[in-house]
Amino acid sequence: MVDDKISTISRSSHPSIFLPSDFANIRMSDVSLDAPLPDDLDDLRFEEALDRLEAIVEQLDEDPPDLDTALDAYEDGVTLAQHCLDRLNDAEERLEELSLD
């Protein structure tokens, strides 16, 4: 569903929108999993939240930690995924408001 929303956005009509290809050079080693999530996720940029979410998924897939750590990481991942979806929905609403339909 998110990919559908992203794929309908054109770079020429909305140059400030980030597309999946913009994240191709992100290295997961640049993301610290030990850092706690901010108390207010609004302080976390979309790109930072997505980086952290991808790092969590990569860690859980490639090098699963002990159960308690995995559960904490999974909980953070769910929180980050919801934050990213909320930000994308907000962006979609803003684009619809700007549309000249």
Q: What is the pLDDT of residue 101?
A: 61
pTM of the full predicted structure?
0.64
Residue 50: give the domain boundaries. 2-98
Q: Is the pLDDT of residue 91 over 80?
A: yes
3-state helix, strand and coil shares in percent for the chain, rounded to the nearest 5: 65, 0, 35
Asked if pLDDT for residue 75 goes beyond 80, the answer is yes
Which of 28-32, 68-72, 97-101 is predicted least confidently? 28-32
Number of domains in the chain: 1
User: What pLDDT does 33 receive?
Assistant: 61
Per-residue confidence band for 30, with pLDDT thresholds at 50, 70 and 90: low
Query: For 15-19, 63-67, 82-86, which range has the lowest pLDDT when averaged over its residues?
Result: 15-19
End-to-end CA distance of the chain: give it in Å, rounded.
Answer: 23
Task: Estimate the crossing angle of helix 46-62 against helix 67-98, to 10 degrees.
Answer: 150
